[in-house]
Amino acid sequence: MESCSATLAPKTSIVKNESEGTMAERIRRQHTVSKFYLKGFADQSGGIRRVSLPGEPSIVLSIRDASVIKDFYTVTLPDGSLSDAFERAFGKIEGAAAEALSDILAGVWPIEGEAREAFATWVALQHLRSQDVRYSQGYMNAEMIRLIVGVSGKEALRSLIQNSESRPVSDEELDDEWRDITKPGGPDMAPSANQHVRLLSSLLPPTAAYLRDCHWTLFRFDRRSIATSDHPVTLVVAPDHPQWQGVGIATAE
């Protein structure tokens, strides 16, 4: 189990919508795990115990503050302004999925039609919106840059930096950049919200459709309490899955 992460930050900021002449609140405290899902693991007051692996520290916080990262899905628009449009769109998906989950908890199984569609879409979204997906993009970008620069050589790197930043690059700076790029794991690259949301948007419809058409099994627990994690949708590997082969939605058991 991975620990839920919470970042306490100002809830919203006020931005002006020039096209409508109105003031709107931009949501900045954004959940990586849906609140309606976390509610099922909370006590009557809405508190949930967060345990940071390997086991310490352990704190109780509100589901409003659990799994919150400031501006995690905030994208930069072509004009340079910031938008929370995707965070708001996720809310619509979560609302429909919450209704489907209520049906399941009320004893409706299997769920069909719009309820099944809504829940499959949320499961796909919860998988694709995770920090793991965001950081895997940064890793792949770093490896790609490392490969390209490694093939092209140092002088090509110097030309690339000089052309992109319109300034000369000293030998010392070039050596520092070269060491960073060629080190194991590639350069340190901050994951991009724009790139993550672009990937999510392209993969969400086919992933949701695939999950909707899969066989679903419902497990009921009689235990007093169970735990979840900040990556609640997990791909399970088959026992005979080759260790060298990656695991995706279509190849997970």
Averaged pLDDT score across all residues of the chain: 82
CA–CA separation, 142 vs 132, rounded Å?
15
Domains of the chain, by residue range, sit at 12-213
Top-confidence range, 48-57, 94-103, 139-148, 181-190: 94-103
CA nearest to 211, candidates 233, 228, 196, 232: 233
Report residue 144's pLDDT band, with 50, 70 and 90 as the boundaries. low
pLDDT at 102: 96
Measure the CA angle with vertex 12, ends 7 and 15; round to 5°.
140
CA–CA separation, 109 vs 174, rounded Å?
62
**Per the structure block, which two tokens stand in for 115?**
């309820």
Residue 147: pLDDT over 80: no
Residue 143: pLDDT over 70: no
Instruction: Kindly report, residue by residue over 191-223, the tens digit of the pLDDT.
Output: 688 888 988 999 999 999 999 999 999 998 887
User: What's the N-to-C CA distance of the chain in angstroms?
Assistant: 19
User: Helix, strand, or coil here: 201?
Assistant: helix
Question: If 0-12 CB within 10 Å is exposed, 13-18 middle and 19+ buried, where does residue 128 land?
Answer: buried
pLDDT at 13: 42
What is the CB neighbour count within 10 angstroms for residue 224? 5
Q: Which whole number is the average pLDDT over 68-88?
A: 89
**Could you tell me which residue, 198 or 6, shows the higher pLDDT?**
198
**Per the structure block, which two tokens stand in for 7?**
């970042």
Give percent of the chain with pLDDT exceeding 70: 81
pLDDT at 3: 38
Residue 16: pLDDT over 60: no
